[in-house]
Structure 1
Amino acid sequence: MQSRERGAHTPIPGSERKAVPGAKHVGPADLGERISVTMYLRRCSSEKLAQAVEELSKVPLAKRRHMSHEEFAVAHAVDADDLKIVEDFAKEHGLTVDHVNAAAATVGLSGSVTSFHEAFGVELALYEHPDFKYRGRTGAIHLPAQLSDIVVAVLGLDNRPQTKPHFRIHQGEAVDMRALAAEMSYTPVQVAQLYNFPENITCDDQCIGIIELGGGYSLDALEEYFSSLGVATPTISSVSVDGATNQPTGDSNGPDGEVDLDIEVAAAVAPGAKIVVYFAPNTDAGFLDAITTAIHDTTNKPSVLSISWGGAESSWTTQAMQAMNSAFQDAAALGVTVCCASGDDGSADSVDDGEVHVDFPASSPYVLACGGTRLTGSNGTIESEVVWNDGANGGASGGGVSDVFALPSWQANANVPPSANPGGHVGRGVPDVAGDADPATGYQVLVDGQQLAIGGTSAVAPLWAGLIAIANYTLGHPVGFLNPILYGLPSDAGAFHDITSGNNDVNGSTEAYQARPGWDACTGLGSPNGAKLVSALGSAGSTT
């Protein structure tokens, strides 16, 4: 991007914002309001880190040695001189440095709106959308010369809701568990049985981290739920990020549905695993801070993260995606697997422009993107499995080709098609794997005291997170960045149920992406055969 000067300031590439479609400008922001932002800084070792992750991905799992948090901090923390420049800049503009996470390359600043206007050459305003109000900006964020080579992103000036949860409630109302069973929904334990997850395993040395951008849970209600399943209630704790806390809304149709679904699925299929929920505001800054907090958590040390929130790539700034993608690269170096829901709105990803879109963060090449199927089974046996697609109103598996991230080397032989958009862009294919997501064949869960059948790719991310926790426990070491290994597994390993029927077009016309033998942009490599997958990972050789 060509720089343009604004006084002594230069725009951050990829920081441009537009108003949310349908939002109305209602006036300037309160100049005296105190707000907080997160700055993501460069690392002098960024090329070295990228190369280390690339080389690590080629090492057989049994021989991989992931970095410890201490080793990572020594090798890849932000340079102290850069931090000093940022701190001096903050002081000069009347801003307070609230926190520094040198290993995660983040700095939190707070101050008045006026101070941020002057510091970053922006003008914040108030906007009203039919569904929410927010403080926003248009155009780019600007940096003075001394920061232009240090700061990669400045997030949080604009506090619009950045993402949405990817879950769907069957019929949108509570029903009796017996009725749910009659309509072919399942408990998470039954889904795990259908997918042949290893049994009689207690993952008591594993920690699953769950990212939540709203809502909350009740420990008493979760104890009731796990008791009904005959599963021991896991150790569950929460971590507050940027002031957000475990705050149930009491609305099962709201974010509580996401929180309870994630916890109940992950813990039910990986019994004994410790669950840590990272609550953050639903903004680009909050999302980044939740991810970096979890990945660099030296207390809980989750070996796998489950993320069921996201939005179309076109709704993000490039600077935010770059910062989060770098954080996921940190996870790969540390041996943390990140599972992300691929979205519930098919190949359009709820963007009404006639084109196809993929969801971020699922499109990051450092995460395991999880798509959705419609699963029919009984007595522990799968009878049929097709792409989840109930149309525009009912939801469908997200998937397609990234407009932002290049085709990874490990997808080179997966026959990822060009984008269905004009121009046929070649990029990272989404999703990587799949699992049951159709609400009609969904998961029996308890949310705010109501028994519900819930689906969506939101359920698939914690399902896979639980399976990976089982693999980590069984193999005796974290599998970490799993994608290169999965794409290199021989077909005769039987690690996946190949989904070959259906599509994820929600407009009923183009059928942009169709299921087919092997990888496809609806269900990836397929749904898991858990025991065979864990066995295959135990003997996985070098991949390229």
Structure 2
Amino acid sequence: MTDNKHALPGSDRKELPGSSCTGPLEDDNERFDVSLIVRRPDAAGFQQHISSLCQSRNPDAKVTPSSPALLSREEYARRFAASLEDVSKVREFAHRHQLRVVSENRVTRTVILSGTARQFMAAFGVRLQHYQHASGNFRGRTGAIHLPADLAGIVTAVLGLDNRPQARAHFRFRPPIRPAAKDPTSGSYTPLELAALYDFAPGDGAKQCVGIIELGGGYDETDLQNFFSSLGLPSPAVNAVSVDGGKNSPSGGADSADGEVMLDIEVVGALAPQAKLAVYFAGNSDQGFINAVNNAIHDTANRPSVISISWGGPESSWTAQSLDAFDDVLQSAVALGVTVCVASGDSGSSDGVNDGADHVDFPASSPYALACGGTRLNAGKGAIKTETVWNDGEQGGAGGGGISTHFPLPGWQKSLKAVRTGGKQATLAHRGVPDVAGNADPETGYKVLVHGQWTVVGGTSAVAPLWAGLIARVNGAAGKTLGYMQPLLYPAGACRDVTQGNNGDFAAASGWDACTGLGSPDGKKIAALLD
């Protein structure tokens, strides 16, 4: 079978707004890699396991000897790795089209192929072209990917033909302080100060690993040593993990992705100083992003119990195949007891899309991610005075939140309503974002050290590592994992309700809202979820 006859469901791509085509790739002999994700054996059995596991986490559920248990990575590999037959069919397809098999990972169900643009265009029935865009030049395509009949239903996603920048880091530096100000970090907080304000239970993350996903930038060891020394803490063990050739590559610019990487490590490392930190570096594309999270979840060397993601993009900018492939990876995290904390975005209810409609950020909008929204926190004398929705009208930053257009309503959000700024309530028909929140306003942000300079950083990218650090502390103290938290969290009343402010089209309200979710953490109540 050699003819490409079947369009891969959900693979249709549109041109990136603001980009321009500069020519075809037919004569480009440079080789690149493409990832094929194959189906999960016994998909029905896996879905039943996930569903039963979620139901058993409901506080009112009766735990019986037959209740589903979390899977070890080894057991997951035995039960749900890709079949040898399916991988063999992909290998045969590659051979027919003179594509080289770079790697096969049955656990992540990923086969990586290498070839030229001409070879991939012939193999998948696509046209690849060069594009220019303000965010960077990329290799792109429009339309659908096509598969031969013998791979239809076996290959669920083909990633990397188009390598446009897929995500952005959700961090924002505080605007310059007035020259008269003596302390450029005044009004901001160290992670330890926030832990005290949010009443984190004692803990240091011992025997835990936190995975941190980065799609660019890097960290500097000297900065880390100086930062943790200033807090009277030891420097955590940080391990850079390369995914698809990504690596720790600090640029030397504080306003680059380095600011994101340093923020993530410094927040998690301060809150869980005895935890091991594994930083997974990958390219900024849907292929790189998905492969990084997939590798982190199934990493048998580092074994993270919680993962922090501070990157994302509007749900509308992803293909359906990528949304579903990523969501499937996050379901694997549920089965393994890994919590995945994800920033909900910094551009309010529009998520930066200029079409007049509401949008949510992905992967925060997956029901299997703990979506982290943003607040503005004001404190004094060691106590919180006020906490409102982060929305800086002048600077344009606001916590992301709203209602997904792709993912169905999860059971733990049934009966909830979203409140619009005008006061009108709407029953949720799809997944509501975020789940939780925390300090994110750059004006009240986090004191961090980047390239030798103390600065203040905010954005929901700070909230994901805040929650990841809290969860690592809780897991270490309890000797077990919070894992998939939402079924436990929603009925528990374990968050500080935020009832003032809006993120554009959605307003804060008593209980859950589409700005700050259930609210900011009440650390000791979060720890009690594992009692």
Which TM-score band applies after superposition, normalised by the shorter structure?
A: over 0.9
The range that moved more, 14-23 or 296-305, is 14-23
Give secondary structure in 1 for the equivalent of 2:193. helix
- What is the one-letter code of the residue matched to 1:70? E
Alignment-derived partner of residue 501 in structure 2 = 502
2:97 pairs, out of 82, 93, 97, with 93
Tell me how far apart the structure 2 counterparts of residues 21 and 471 of structure 1 sit (CA, whole Å): 43
Tell me how far apart the structure 2 counterparts of residues 25 and 186 of structure 1 sit (CA, whole Å): 45
Give secondary structure in 2 for the equivalent of 1:277. strand
Alignment-derived partner of residue 55 in structure 1 = 52
Alignment-derived partner of residue 461 in structure 1 = 464
In the alignment, structure 1 residue 171 sits paired with structure 2 residue 167: no
1:396 pairs, out of 389, 395, 398, with 398
User: Aligned ranges for residues 289-328 of structure 1 at < 5 Å?
Assistant: 289-328=291-330
1:16 pairs, out of 6, 9, 12, with 12
Deviation at 1:479, TM superposition (A): 1.3
Give secondary structure in 2 for the equivalent of 1:58. helix
The range that moved more, 523-532 or 173-182, is 173-182
Specify whether residues 114 and 513 from structure 1 end up closer, same or farther in structure 2 by C-alpha distance, changes over 3 A only.
Answer: same
Alignment-derived partner of residue 522 in structure 1 = 515
Tell me how far apart the structure 2 counterparts of residues 174 and 450 of structure 1 sit (CA, whole Å): 17
Give secondary structure in 2 for the equivalent of 1:57. helix
Deviation at 1:394, TM superposition (A): 3.3
TM-score, structure 1 as length reference: 0.92
Checking the alignment, whether the CA contact within 8 Å between 2:141 and 2:161 is kept in structure 1 is yes
Tell me how far apart the structure 1 counterparts of residues 262 and 41 of structure 2 sit (CA, whole Å): 40
Alignment-derived partner of residue 142 in structure 1 = 146
Specify whether residues 181 and 353 from structure 1 end up closer, same or farther in structure 2 by C-alpha distance, changes over 3 A only.
Answer: same
Deviation at 1:72, TM superposition (A): 0.2
- What is the one-letter code of the residue matched to 2:193? Q
Tell me how far apart the structure 1 counterparts of residues 179 and 172 of structure 2 sit (CA, whole Å): 15
Tell me how far apart the structure 2 counterparts of residues 462 and 162 of structure 1 sit (CA, whole Å): 21
The range that moved more, 53-62 or 526-535, is 53-62
2:34 pairs, out of 37, 41, 49, with 37
User: Unpaired segments of 5 or more residues in structure 1?
Assistant: 1-5, 506-511, 540-544
Alignment-derived partner of residue 3 in structure 1 = none
2:526 pairs, out of 528, 533, 538, with 533
TM-score, structure 2 as length reference: 0.94
Q: Deviations over 1:376-430 (max 9, x none)?
A: 1123210000000002733000000000001001111333469999x99821000
Tell me how far apart the structure 1 counterparts of residues 470 and 55 of structure 2 sit (CA, whole Å): 22
Alignment-derived partner of residue 482 in structure 2 = 479
Tell me how far apart the structure 1 counterparts of residues 289 and 178 of structure 2 sit (CA, whole Å): 30
Specify whether residues 68 and 172 from structure 1 end up closer, same or farther in structure 2 by C-alpha distance, changes over 3 A only.
Answer: farther
In the alignment, structure 1 residue 449 sits paired with structure 2 residue 442: no
Alignment-derived partner of residue 372 in structure 2 = 370
Alignment-derived partner of residue 116 in structure 2 = 112
Tell me how far apart the structure 1 counterparts of residues 419 and 92 of structure 2 sit (CA, whole Å): 49
2:226 pairs, out of 224, 227, 246, with 224
User: Aligned ranges for residues 226-305 of structure 1 at < 5 Å?
Assistant: 226-305=228-307
User: Unpaired segments of 5 or more residues in structure 2?
Assistant: none
Deviation at 1:253, TM superposition (A): 0.7
Q: Deviations over 1:173-224 (max 9, x none)?
A: 8999961443x1011110111101113x232201000000000001121011
Deviation at 1:470, TM superposition (A): 1.2
Alignment length, in residue pairs?
520
Alignment-derived partner of residue 157 in structure 1 = 161
- What is the one-letter code of the residue matched to 1:499? V
Tell me how far apart the structure 2 counterparts of residues 54 and 513 of structure 1 sit (CA, whole Å): 30
% same residue: 51
Give secondary structure in 2 for the equivalent of 1:145. coil
Checking the alignment, whether the CA contact within 8 Å between 2:417 and 2:427 is kept in structure 1 is no
Checking the alignment, whether the CA contact within 8 Å between 1:240 and 1:278 is kept in structure 2 is yes
2:340 pairs, out of 334, 338, 341, with 338
Tell me how far apart the structure 1 counterparts of residues 495 and 441 of structure 2 sit (CA, whole Å): 19
Specify whether residues 247 and 181 from structure 1 end up closer, same or farther in structure 2 by C-alpha distance, changes over 3 A only.
Answer: closer
- What is the one-letter code of the residue matched to 1:14? G
In the alignment, structure 1 residue 25 sits paired with structure 2 residue 27: no
Give secondary structure in 2 for the equivalent of 1:103. coil
Specify whether residues 31 and 176 from structure 1 end up closer, same or farther in structure 2 by C-alpha distance, changes over 3 A only.
Answer: farther
Q: Deviations over 1:344-391 (max 9, x none)?
A: 000000000000000000000001000000001123210000000002
Checking the alignment, whether the CA contact within 8 Å between 1:419 and 1:425 is kept in structure 2 is no
Checking the alignment, whether the CA contact within 8 Å between 2:212 and 2:308 is kept in structure 1 is yes
Give secondary structure in 1 for the equivalent of 2:405. coil
Checking the alignment, whether the CA contact within 8 Å between 1:174 and 1:451 is kept in structure 2 is no
1:189 pairs, out of 188, 192, 213, with 192
Give secondary structure in 2 for the equivalent of 1:311. strand
Tell me how far apart the structure 1 counterparts of residues 290 and 105 of structure 2 sit (CA, whole Å): 12
Specify whether residues 130 and 528 from structure 1 end up closer, same or farther in structure 2 by C-alpha distance, changes over 3 A only.
Answer: closer
Alignment-derived partner of residue 439 in structure 1 = 442
Tell me how far apart the structure 2 counterparts of residues 141 and 281 of structure 1 sit (CA, whole Å): 21
Specify whether residues 146 and 304 from structure 1 end up closer, same or farther in structure 2 by C-alpha distance, changes over 3 A only.
Answer: same
